[in-house]
Chain A
């Protein structure tokens, strides 16, 4: 509508709501976010509760420390599976973190351009490859030529599974370090190397740790790649060059068996997997908090 002096005045659009209705929407919105968070957490509690109910009976000290026993023989445990899992994931992390972090640094520093874009694309595509195909890849590279199964080939497969998460998140984390921090370091005369290693990365560390924990959580439950790499074992094994038992594989084998005794151990093992990741997460976060406090001090 035109005003007296000829200018056009915008009609108050429908979107300019009253304060009261905006507040209402805000409350509804907040409630929605809460509901979603609760939904996600409640689903976990449903699954966790089910696993606890099924598996808590199987957990005892001998379960944690003994070798597997065949059907009909009471007792037995997943001790070697726990050890194998720790060794294999440890090696996988040692392999994945350097490659993932370095690639993330490269992408963060050299953001635009065809090559960085191609790398990001490759990383996203890798995250969609099924774990069994990655297991086959590890088999083709590290098992078939050497003619034996090994824990290292499993670590290699796990490394491939962990990389996309690490690359994407470390790039994101490094990028979100404020420019002021970086410039400050460079202004002090630090080389790029020192600036990145000593200032930028520690600032980005919490997010990187989250990604690492997520990646570790992801691979603790993976079974398919282990079939052709670690192979599995009923015995203690500390040499990563040999076939090794892994807890996830034991859980899988027991879960699909007909015997109630083994099935109970499968659920017990599943509970152990979740608890192991929980302890790892908690420990890492606590350590990080202590380190951060040290930095601020």
Chain B
């Protein structure tokens, strides 16, 4: 980070190759930005009829009735945010701890195959996660995890109510499984890249390995780990097929984590291929637009959080 100011001075070009290089770099970045902006424009154009018809009430209405063409997105926004929050909370903790293990604690012969194994989780297709979730995880939640949580914490409204197996919690767990490889793999690389001098300096002060990891290395790797979590969170927000198979698909807001719920991406995946009226299609694209905006808001909030903690931009 302290290198930046020095570096800017060095980025003055000493040769024609450099100028060509700069042009190519600029071109790539501009193309990147244009693609995303074009995507946003397409979403807006597609949802325009729905925006015009329903206005802002689309966001706070709770009814989703394709027959009478009454559409309201609030329960889905809630479901998306809630499942993603559960997912990132679980995945960040497990993932970062696992990354610390793989980078600093594990012997080489153990760390390499274990890293591989965890990265392979990323290759499991979404529909397989969904089927496994439906046939293995949901019954497990219904018969084991759910009753256990309800036994201890049943007085809390979030753990009350009937346990179907499918629901908000199961959706969050399956998402967590899907994003853990991203968090772990990237965090591991970031932590491994922290220069050894830092660790050695800490050790020379008499700290234990754990203290070095948590008080020296992790804070130094903070920015990269944050980036990993943001990427993982993005995946969680947009995941469709796996979630829709275990979330219960009920457009209702409920206090309990065991209740069936619905996410923005699930609705689109469920209904888009069969929607035939133009207002219906437009409403579904508007859900995609809302998801885009939710992603923007979550990212902006996360940046603000980091900014206020560090006193400078991430």
A: residues with CB less than 8 A from B are: 22-23, 25-30, 32-37, 39-41, 43-48, 50-51, 98-103, 105-107, 109-112, 117-119, 121-134, 136-137, 140-141, 160, 163-165, 167-169, 172-173, 176, 178-179, 182, 186, 191-194, 196-197, 206-207, 210-211, 213-214, 217-218, 220-224, 227, 248, 251-252, 255-256, 267, 270, 273-274, 276-278, 281-282
**A109 in contact with B209 given A43-B121, A221-B125 (CB within 8 Å):** no
**A124 in contact with B234 given A224-B241, A281-B116 (CB within 8 Å):** yes
Residue of A at shortest CB range from B97?
A: A36
**A214 in contact with B210 given A40-B118, A103-B32, A224-B269 (CB within 8 Å):** no
Interface on chain B toward A: helix, strand, loop, or mixed SS?
helix
Q: Does B182 contact A (CB under 8 A)?
A: yes
B107 to chain A, nearest CB (A): 12
B88-120, CB under 8 A of A: which get 1 and which 0? Answer: 000001110110111001100000001011111
Chain B residues near A194: list those with CB within 8 A: 17
Interface on chain A toward B: helix, strand, loop, or mixed SS?
helix
Q: Does B268 contact A (CB under 8 A)?
A: yes
Q: Does B186 contact A (CB under 8 A)?
A: yes
**A213 in contact with B128 given A128-B294, A132-B240, A191-B18 (CB within 8 Å):** no
Chain B residues near A26: list those with CB within 8 A: 208-211
Query: Could you list some 5 contacts between A and B, CB below 8 A?
Result: A25-B211, A36-B95, A50-B136, A127-B238, A191-B13
A55 to chain B, nearest CB (A): 9
> Which of B36-44, B64-72, B149-157, B246-254 contacts the other chain?
B36-44
Q: Does B309 contact A (CB under 8 A)?
A: no
**A281 in contact with B241 given A109-B7, A193-B17, A207-B189 (CB within 8 Å):** no
A268 to chain B, nearest CB (A): 12
Chain A residues near B291: list those with CB within 8 A: 128-130, 133
B13 touches A192 (CB 8 A): yes
B230 to chain A, nearest CB (A): 5
Chain A residues near B213: list those with CB within 8 A: 29, 33
